[in-house]
Chains A and B, each alone.
Chain A
Amino acid sequence: MSSPVSRLSIITSIVKKDLVEWTRDQFWMAVSALILVMFAIMFWLMPDSVDETMSVGVYPAALGEVFAQAVAADQDASGVLVAGFDSREELITAIEEGRRVVVQGEEQKIKIGLAFPADFASSAFSGELSTVRVYVDGTVPGDVTNAMAAMVRELAYAARVLALGGNPEAAFPVTFPEENIMILGEDRAGSQIPFRDQMRPMIAFMMLIMESLALAALIAVEIHAKTLTALIVTPARTADVLWAKSITGILLALSQVLLILALTNSFANSNVLVLILATVIGAVMATALGMLTGAAGKDFMGTLFYGMLFLIPFFIPAFAVLFPGSASWVVKVIPSWGMIDTMVNATTHDTNWRDVALPLGYSSAWCAILFAAGWLQLERKLQTL
C-alpha cells in the first residue's frame, strides 16, 4: 500500500499542509490583508514630491528687489522666492500668522523675514556696521536660517565692493574664507527623495515582521498541540520538518513583500534584481526569527513577546531611513541594516551591484547566522517534545 517516499515528497506535503493551515487561520489572514491594504493606501496618500521652495519676506520692499536679484544670481539659492514688505510690522505679522502672500505669481507662506535698517545701503557703502534682523518661523531648519544670514552678509559685502570700485581686496578688514564644499555621494540638491519613496523599506519590513510572527505562531501552535510529535513518528525526519518550516516561512514572507512592493510601484524605477535579492534576504531573516521565536514561545503571547524582542531592534534601520543624514554606526550594526539600505538604494537611486555589495554581504552573513540559530533552536525543541 505504501511505497518508499522521497524526502522532497515529504517536505512538499508538509509545506502544502502548512500553507493550508495558514490560509485557514482567520486571525493571521485578516491581519496580513489589513496591513497589506493599509500600507498600500498609506503609501499612495503620502506626497510624491518634495517642496524645495522657501519664501523670504524683505523689508523695505525696495531692498527686496535687490535681494531677489542677488538670490537669482546665486545658484546655491535656487528655490528661494522673495516678497517685499512695506513695514516691519507687516512682515512680522505675516510670519507669525502664517499668512499667505502672492510671491512671483504663487501663493506662499512667508517663513523667513529680513528687516534691513533704513541706512543699510549707505552704511554698507561707507563700510559701517549695521544690524539686519532675521525673523524665522519655528519650522525652518537652522541651516536655512544660517544660509539667509550669510546671504545678507554677502549682500553687504557686495555693496561695499561696489562702493570701492569693484576692488574686493579693500572691501573689509576681514575676508570671507574660501568655501570648498564637497558633496559626498550623489548630490541630491534639487532632486530630493519624496517621503513616500523613503517609506518603502519600512513598509516592506512591516510585512516581513507580520509574516515572521505568523510563522512563529504556526510553529508555536504545532508545538503546543503536539502535532509536530505526530509528524516525527512517521517517515518524516526532523530535518524534513525543519526544511518545510523554512520553505513555508520564506514563501509567506517573500510573497507578501513582493506583493506590497508591487502595490507601491517599487519595481518601476528600481534595479529589480537587487531589490529581489534584498527581499529574499529579508524573507530568510524573517523566517529565521520566526523559527527562533516560535520554538521559544509557549503560547501566542509568549511568541509575541519573543518576536518583539527581536523585531523592534530590527525595525530601527527601516525607521532611520525616513530621516535625513547617514545612519549612525549603532544602526549599521543591526542585522537588518544591510537589507534595508539595499532596498533604499534599489528603489530610490540608480544603484548597481558594486554599490550594494557591502550591505548585501553584511546582511547575508547575519542571515546565515540567524538561520542557523533558528534551525538549531527548533531542532532542539523538536527533539525534546
Chain B
Amino acid sequence: MTQPAIEVDGIRFNYGDIKAVDGISFEVMPGEILGFLGPNGAGKSTTIKMLTGQITPKSGIARVLGRDVSRDRADMQARIGVCFEEKNLYDNMSGKENLAFFASLFGIRNYDSESALRRVGLGDRGGDRVKGYSKGMRQRLMMARAFVNTPEVLFLDEPTDGLDPVSSRAIRDIIKEEASRGAAVLLTTHDMHEADELSNRVAFINEGRIVAIDTPENLKLEYGERTVRVRVRDGGTVRDEVVPLDAADAGERLKTAVAAEELLTIHTEEATLEHIFIQLTGRGLAG
C-alpha cells in the first residue's frame, strides 16, 4: 500500500494568543495535488512553514515522506522543494547562478541549469542578473529553483499570484507535470479557478481550521446548487430565469422559461469553490 507523502494529524501553532493553525489533519498521496484554499491569514502559510521545518508545531504530528518534521528535518528537507510566496531570489546573481547555488546545497554538482531554465521558459535569459527580471520571470525561476533536487514533495505557496495569464498557464502546466512524475504537491492559493483546475482535492481552511476537504466535484455536489440560466427576450425586454435543477418543479419551470417569445441563451451552472467557501465560512477568499 502506498504511504502518504504528507501526513498531518492535529497540528497546532499560535503566534502569542493568536491561533494560526488550530488542530488540522490531512494527507497528501504521491502524485496528488492538494489545493489549500483560504483567505489571507487563514493559516495556509503557517501550515507550510511547519511542514517544511521552518517552525515547529506546538502540538500534533506532521510527517513528510515518513519523517517527523519536528525531529528529522535534515533528511526530509533534502527531498522537498519549496516555492515561496515572496520572490526570495539573489538579485545580483544570474538565473543560472541562483539555480547552481541551490543545487550545490543539495550536493548536486554540475547542475544542468540550462535545461531547467528552458523548461520554465527562461532559456534565453539565464545569464542575466535576476534584478532585471519581470515578476513573471522571477516566479518562473522560483519554480525552477523548487525543482533543482527533483523533489518528492512540492510546497507551492501562491505560485501564480499576480502573474499574467500566459505566465500563470506556464506555471500550472509545470505543476501538472511534476504531479504526473509522482511528486505530491501541496498548493496554497486563494485563486479558486486555479485550485479547481489543478487540484485532485481541495481543503478549505479558515481561521486555522479545515472546514471541508474533498475533490472539487464532490464539494460542488455536496454543497453547491446546480442551476440552468435561461436568457430570453419577452415583450421587448431581456430577462434571465435561473432554474435550480434540484428543485421539485425544475422541469416545469424550465419548460416555461424556454417557451418565451425569443430564447437568447441557455447555460447550465454549477457552484464555484468560492461560493462553497462563502457558504461554509461566511467570508470570501480574497480577504
Contact = CB atoms under 8 A, between A and B. Distances in A.
A294 B90 CA distance: 17
Contacts of A2: 78, 106-108, 149-150
Contact of B107 (A9, A25, A230, A237): A9
B1 interface: no
A1 B77 contact: no
A68 B73 CA distance: 86
Interface of A: 1-5, 9-10, 13-14, 17, 20-21, 24-25, 225-227, 229-237, 385
B74 interface: yes
18 contacts: A1-B108, A2-B107, A5-B106, A17-B90, A20-B97, A21-B93, A24-B92, A25-B92, A225-B88, A225-B91, A227-B90, A229-B54, A229-B84, A230-B84, A233-B52, A233-B54, A235-B106, A237-B74
B105 interface: yes
B89 A9 contact: no
B26 interface: no
A4 B82 contact: no
State the 9 A-B residue pairs at the shortest beta-carbon distance, nearest first: A5-B107, A24-B92, A226-B88, A13-B104, A2-B106, A234-B105, A3-B107, A233-B52, A233-B82
A3 B105 CA distance: 10
A15 to B, nearest CB: 11
A343 B220 CA distance: 76
A327 B23 CA distance: 63
Interface residues of B, number: 28
Contacts of A232: 53-54
B86 interface: yes
Contact of B101 (A5, A13, A24): A13
B102 interface: yes
Contacts of A21: 90, 92-93
B90 A234 contact: no
B140 to A, nearest CB: 16
Contacts of B145: 230
A237 B78 CA distance: 11
Given A2-B78, A21-B90, A9 B149 contact: no
A266 to B, nearest CB: 33
A237 B53 CA distance: 11
Contacts of A225: 86, 88-89, 91
Given A2-B78, A14-B105, A20-B92, 14 more contacts: A2-B106, A20-B93, A21-B93, A25-B92, A225-B86, A229-B54, A229-B88, A230-B88, A230-B102, A232-B54, A233-B53, A235-B78, A235-B105, A235-B106
B83 to A, nearest CB: 10
Contacts of B93: 17, 20-21, 24
Contacts of B101: 13, 17
A385 B78 CA distance: 20
Interface in B59-82: 74, 77-78, 80, 82
Contact of A5 (B52, B80, B105, B129): B105
